[in-house]
């Protein structure tokens, strides 16, 4: 029996198999291959208006309350790194996704996929770290699941956390709300997390230890919303794919252009040096405690003050502006005054030969 | 950041831009040899700051770009063997072979690892005596000393499970090939700073003399490039030729003599095919007979390779400075960094990737 024609068509993989017969690491890298997978496969298959927003957290109306709902899996290697571990990261990651919808976290789930042979001592450290991170945020871990896979079929431990949060009245954060005239801020130096992980993973040694910036941003976001309220148009945490990919997503969703000033983007000396050595562009390196805020021009100065007054925003800066020109694209004014496009991360960043 | 910020100073850069504008009275075509230089030019928008009389064409100095397709196919075949740990610099991972790249070999279960130094591959061979460790030794004179050192160490250690798949290339023969071509457009060169840091610039003096061409060994920061362009344009305007060193903080006339000695000890000059360009006589380095045991191409019998280049890719013309990336019909359409048809779209040093990443798409 042959299937009806429309069913056959709908079962065809929307990503040409001839291009990608297998999943590549870059499909999970947060750049354009990830975006292609999400937009051409997942959004088409799951097809609904909430998903289509492609916000860090889905926003649902439940009997008049607006709930934010988000999930994230953590597959980081090594499990323990300078500035954090997979446990604290799993809590911060989901709390931050909720915060990017303006939500206060209400509860988290924790699903562990453990590899046979993981030292119990390591597991205990991870669990304690999750509990400490959740207690610091003030969010309970209210449900969970545990699976164990054969040795060699996992990387020690994978963690999935899902979170639910409540969005205060009057807050309407959405990637589509970026509009010409708005100002882009970030709460501190970029690329710490990616470089911290890279240095441990690759055994690179620098004069100082570079620490991950992994931190929960709900409190900083609450302070921001408390001060400028609806003046906050978009929030985004630039994790995988970095600041460049996050801003490109915003520019594309809102059909606006974004203009960055390279000199204004905060970055630590040692992180910049590491990026120079490895041939990485810090704009594409992951962050785990950073928040890009697109705010109304009238709210920009207040937003900057509030960020700088918060422990996680001392080095906050205005890094760019939303413009009418070149909709969907991000431009950067280089240090010497030339202008260039900042595109989505394409594939993975690979260290260069020389 | 010290030793970086000084060379990215906007006021200083503007001074050089003005000086270039003042000295330029007629059209000139300059080639920067190295892909790292191309990258800086496009990343900082330097070409957009220059007088319109000056055309910069992008040279062949991108190691992954010029590595022959046949060798990449060989690498892929070797990497697929179960006993092999195949090691390589990062940006070789995505260079398209005839039907696959090393990243997809890795995705299919091949043991392909990214390293930062060939010496790490030697260590890996020591740690894994029951596996064959192969290092993909590509690059110009810059990477040759480290690769020579790896082979030399492996020989001292008596390692019989280490080998290199070698495709070293040399800059001066490529420059001569460009200059002697009847289609040549290039009137002056920015020589590759890092290559010259190893080799010195004495090799370039006869070329400058023979072809009456100004050559300036040049660094990789925006101010380096601007100063290098200024030096070459000034020589052209004054009707002079010869070698004038811009990159004095790293390059001497003699270069790194001990590195050169080591390279000579392990490698010998041979003819070498360049991807997209063809065979250039005496343009490569191969292992000397006494180190032939470390040649992966000999150790692993790889037969039945039929190479298939993309029919639309114009990488060869781009690397000879005859065309610019956006003049390729596939640029940005069938050919993107996620799905490269030719090697220059892969590495950050490739001209096509630099054009694509920094938005030089003519629409």
Q: Which residues of A touch B93 (CB under 8 A)?
A: 350
pTM, entire model: 0.81
Q: What is residue B112's three-state secondary structure? A: strand
Q: Which residues of A touch B145 (CB under 8 A)?
A: none
Give me B98's structure tokens.
Answer: 């005839």
Q: Packing angle between helix B257-266 and helix B144-157, nearest 10 degrees?
A: 60
Distance CA A191, CA A171 (A): 29
DSSP assignment, residue A37? I
Distance CA A5, CA B91 (A): 43
Q: CA of A136, closest CA in chain B: separation in Å? A: 35
Can you give the pLDDT at residue A347? Answer: 62
Contact between residue B305 and residue B73 where contact means Cβ atoms under 8 Å apart: yes
DSSP assignment, residue B142? T
Give me A285's structure tokens.
Answer: 């390196």
Question: Average pLDDT of B213-241?
Answer: 97
Q: Which residues of B touch A352 (CB under 8 A)?
A: 36, 89-91, 347-349
CB proximity A346 to B under 8 Å? yes
Q: CA of A268, closest CA in chain B: separation in Å? A: 9
pLDDT in tens, B271-287: 999 887 889 999 999 99
Q: Which residues of A touch B114 (CB under 8 A)?
A: 350-351
Which of A204, A269, A352 has the CB atom closest to B90's CB atom? A352
- Is residue B120's pLDDT more than 70? yes
Contact between residue A112 and residue A147 where contact means Cβ atoms under 8 Å apart: yes
Interface test with A, best of B45, B138, B168 (most A CBs within 10 A): B45
- Sign of the torsion formed by the C-alpha atoms of B227, B228, B231 and B232: negative
Which of A341, A347, A351 has the CB atom closest to B94's CB atom? A347
Q: CA of A308, closest CA in chain B: separation in Å? A: 24
Distance CA B13, CA A333 (A): 14
CB proximity A13 to B under 8 Å? no
Distance CA B349, CA B143 (A): 15
Q: Where are the alpha helices (DSSP H) in chain A?
A: 5-11, 32-36, 43-46, 49-52, 86-99, 120-137, 192-201, 218-228, 242-254, 269-278, 300-308
Say if strands B267-274 and B132-139 run parallel, antiparallel, or are unpaired: unpaired
Instruction: Give the chain B residue whose CA is nearest to the CA of A351.
Output: B90
Q: Which residues contact B28 (CB under 8 A, 6 or more apart)?
A: B53, B54, B55, B187, B188, B232, B233, B236
Measured over all CA atoms, what is the biggest interatomic distance in chain A, rounded to whole angstroms?
Answer: 68
Residues A350, B90: C-beta atoms closer than 8 Å:
yes
Can you give the pLDDT at residue A351? Answer: 62
- Portion of chain B with pLDDT greater than 70, in percent: 98
Q: Which residues of B touch A347 (CB under 8 A)?
A: 94, 337-338
With helix as H, strand as E and coil as C, how does B201-260 read? CCCHHHHHHHCCCEEEEECCCHHHHHHHHHHHHHHHHCCCCEECCCCCCCCCCCCCHHHH
Distance CA A120, CA A295 (A): 46
Residues B44, A269: C-beta atoms closer than 8 Å:
no
Give me B3's structure tokens.
Answer: 């030793």
Instruction: Give the chain B residue whose CA is nearest to the CA of A21.
Output: B104
Residues B338, A25: C-beta atoms closer than 8 Å:
no
Other Cβ atoms less than 10 A from the Cβ of B344: the count is 36
**One-character DSSP codes across B31-87:** EEEEHHHHHHHHHTTGGGGS-TTEEEEEEEE-HHHHS-HHHHHHHHHHHTSTTEEEE
Residue where the block lists tokens 């690179």: A204
Contact between residue B192 and residue B141 where contact means Cβ atoms under 8 Å apart: no
Residues B349, A352: C-beta atoms closer than 8 Å:
yes
pLDDT in tens, B71-95: 999 999 999 999 999 999 888 888 8
Which of B8, B107, B194 has the CB atom closest to A22's CB atom? B107
Annotated domain spans of chain B:
1-309, 315-357
Q: Which of B295, B208, B286, B200 has the alpha carbon at shortest distance from B243?
A: B208
Low-confidence ranges of chain A (pLDDT < 50): 1-11, 17-18
Q: Which residues of B touch A202 (CB under 8 A)?
A: 116
> Which CATH architecture describes the domain B1-309?
3-Layer(aba) Sandwich (3.40)
Q: Which of B70, B64, B9, B61 has the alpha carbon at shortest distance from B227?
A: B9
Of B246 and B340, the structure prediction assigns the larger pLDDT to: B246
Distance CA A54, CA A47 (A): 12
Q: CA of A149, closest CA in chain B: separation in Å? A: 19
Q: What does the buried/exposed string (b/e) look like for B203-230 if buried means 16 or more CB atoms within 10 Å of the residue's CB?
A: bbeebbeebebbbbbbbbbbbbbbbbbb
Q: What is the average pLDDT score of chain B?
A: 92
CA B95 → CA A190, A281, B78, distances in Å?
30, 20, 15
Residues A336, B45: C-beta atoms closer than 8 Å:
yes
CB proximity A17 to B under 8 Å? no
Which of A25, A269, A343 has the CB atom closest to B1's CB atom? A269
Q: CA of A246, closest CA in chain B: separation in Å? A: 16
Domains of chain A: 57-169 (3.30.1330.10), 175-342 (3.90.650.10)
- Sign of the torsion formed by the C-alpha atoms of A23, A26, A27 and A28: positive
Q: CA of A119, closest CA in chain B: separation in Å? A: 24
Instruction: Give the chain B residue whose CA is nearest to the CA of A350.
Output: B90
Residue B281 phi/psi, 5° resolution? -60, 140
Torsion of Cα atoms, A268 then A273 then A275 then A279, to 10°: 160
pLDDT in tens, B182-212: 889 999 999 999 999 999 999 999 999 999 9
Other Cβ atoms less than 10 A from the Cβ of A294: the count is 28
Distance CA B55, CA B74 (A): 38
Can you give the pLDDT at residue A2? Answer: 41
Show contacts of A7-16: CB within 8 Å, 24+ apart: A13/A41, A14/A40, A14/A41, A14/A44, A15/A40, A15/A41
ipTM > 0.90 for the complex: no
Q: Which residues of A touch B46 (CB under 8 A)?
A: 336, 338
Residue where the block lists tokens 């928040």: A291
Q: Which residues of A touch B4 (CB under 8 A)?
A: 272-273, 276
- Portion of chain B with pLDDT greater than 90, in percent: 65
Can you give the pLDDT at residue B42? Answer: 87
Of B344 and B269, the structure prediction assigns the larger pLDDT to: B269
Residues A352, B103: C-beta atoms closer than 8 Å:
no
Q: CA of B7, closest CA in chain A: separation in Å? A: 9
Q: Which residues of B touch A350 (CB under 8 A)?
A: 90-91, 93-94, 114, 347-348
Instruction: Give the chain A residue whose CA is nearest to the CA of B350.
Output: A352
CA B316 → CA B41, B219, B313, B344, B353, distances in Å?
21, 25, 8, 10, 15
Distance CA B204, CA B217 (A): 9
Contact between residue A157 and residue A86 where contact means Cβ atoms under 8 Å apart: yes
């Amino acid at each position: 029996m042959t299937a009806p024609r429309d069913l056959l068509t709908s079962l065809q993989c929307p990503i040409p198999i001839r291009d990608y017969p297998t999943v590549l690491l870059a499909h999970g890298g947060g750049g354009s291959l990830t975006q292609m997978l999400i937009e051409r496969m997942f959004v088409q298959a799951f097809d609904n208006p909430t998903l289509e927003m492609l916000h860090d957290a889905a926003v649902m109306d439940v009997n008049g309350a607006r709930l934010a709902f988000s999930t994230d899996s953590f597959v980081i290697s090594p499990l323990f790194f300078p500035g954090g571990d997979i446990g604290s990261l799993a809590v911060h990651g989901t709390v931050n996704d909720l915060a990017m919808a303006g939500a206060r976290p209400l509860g988290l789930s924790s699903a562990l996929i453990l590899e046979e042979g993981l030292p119990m001592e390591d597991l205990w450290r991870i669990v304690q770290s999750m509990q400490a991170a959740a207690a610091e945020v003030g969010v309970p871990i209210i449900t969970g699941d545990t699976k164990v896979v054969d040795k060699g079929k996992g990387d020690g431990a994978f963690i999935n956390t899902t979170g639910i949060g409540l969005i205060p009245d009057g807050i309407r954060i959405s990637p589509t709300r970026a509009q010409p005239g708005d100002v882009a801020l970030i709460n501190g130096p970029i690329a710490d997390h990616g470089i911290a992980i890279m240095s441990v993973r690759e055994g690179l040694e620098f004069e100082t230890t570079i620490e991950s910036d992994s931190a929960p941003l709900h409190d900083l976001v609450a302070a921001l919303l408390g001060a400028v309220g609806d003046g906050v148009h978009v929030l985004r945490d630039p994790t995988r794919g970095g600041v460049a990919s996050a801003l490109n997503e915003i520019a594309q969703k809102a059909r606006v252009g974004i203009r960055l000033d390279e000199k204004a983007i905060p970055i630590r000396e040692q992180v910049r040096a590491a990026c120079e050595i490895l041939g990485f562009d810090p704009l594409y390196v992951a962050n785990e405690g950073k928040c890009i805020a697109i705010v109304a021009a009238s709210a920009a100065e207040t937003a900057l003050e509030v960020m700088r007054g918060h422990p996680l925003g001392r080095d906050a800066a205005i890094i760019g502006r939303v413009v009418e020109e070149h909709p969907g694209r991000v431009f950067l004014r280089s240090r010497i005054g030339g202008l260039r496009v900042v595109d989505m991360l394409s594939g993975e960043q690979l260290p260069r030969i020389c | 950041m010290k030793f970086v910020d000084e060379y990215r100073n906007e006021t200083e850069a503007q001074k050089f831009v003005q000086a270039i504008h003042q000295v330029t009275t007629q059209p000139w075509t300059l080639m920067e040899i190295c892909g790292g230089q191309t990258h800086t030019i496009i990343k900082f928008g330097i070409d957009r700051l220059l007088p319109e009389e000056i055309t910069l064409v992008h040279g062949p100095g991108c190691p992954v770009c010029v590595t022959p397709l046949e060798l990449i196919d060989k690498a892929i075949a070797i990497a697929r063997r179960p006993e092999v740990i195949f090691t390589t610099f990062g940006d070789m991972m995505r260079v398209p072979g005839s039907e696959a790249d090393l990243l997809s070999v890795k995705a299919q279960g091949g043991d392909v690892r990214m390293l930062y130094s060939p010496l790490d591959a030697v260590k890996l061979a020591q740690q894994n005596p029951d596996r064959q460790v192969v290092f993909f030794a590509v690059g110009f004179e810059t990477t040759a000393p480290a690769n020579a050192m790896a082979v030399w160490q492996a020989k001292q250690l008596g390692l019989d499970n280490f080998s290199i798949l070698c495709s070293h290339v040399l800059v001066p023969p490529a420059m001569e090939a460009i200059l002697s071509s009847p289609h040549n457009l290039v009137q002056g060169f920015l020589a590759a700073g890092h290559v010259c840091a190893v080799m010195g610039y004495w090799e370039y003096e006869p070329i400058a003399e023979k072809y009456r061409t100004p050559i300036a060994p040049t660094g990789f920061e925006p101010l380096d490039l601007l100063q290098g362009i200024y030096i070459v344009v000034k020589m052209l305007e004054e009707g002079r030729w010869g070698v004038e060193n811009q990159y004095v903080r790293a390059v001497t006339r003699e270069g790194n003599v001990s590195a050169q000695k080591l390279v000579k000890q392990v490698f010998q000059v041979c003819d070498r095919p360049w991807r997209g360009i063809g065979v250039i006589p005496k343009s490569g380095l191969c292992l000397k007979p006494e180190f032939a045991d470390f040649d992966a191409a000999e150790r692993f019998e790889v037969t039945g390779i039929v190479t298939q280049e993309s029919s639309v890719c114009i990488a060869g013309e781009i690397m000879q400075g005859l065309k610019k990336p956006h003049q390729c019909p596939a640029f940005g359409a069938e050919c993107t960094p996620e799905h490269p048809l030719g090697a220059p779209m892969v590495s950050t040093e490739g001209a096509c990737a630099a054009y694509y990443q920094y938005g030089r798409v003519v629409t």
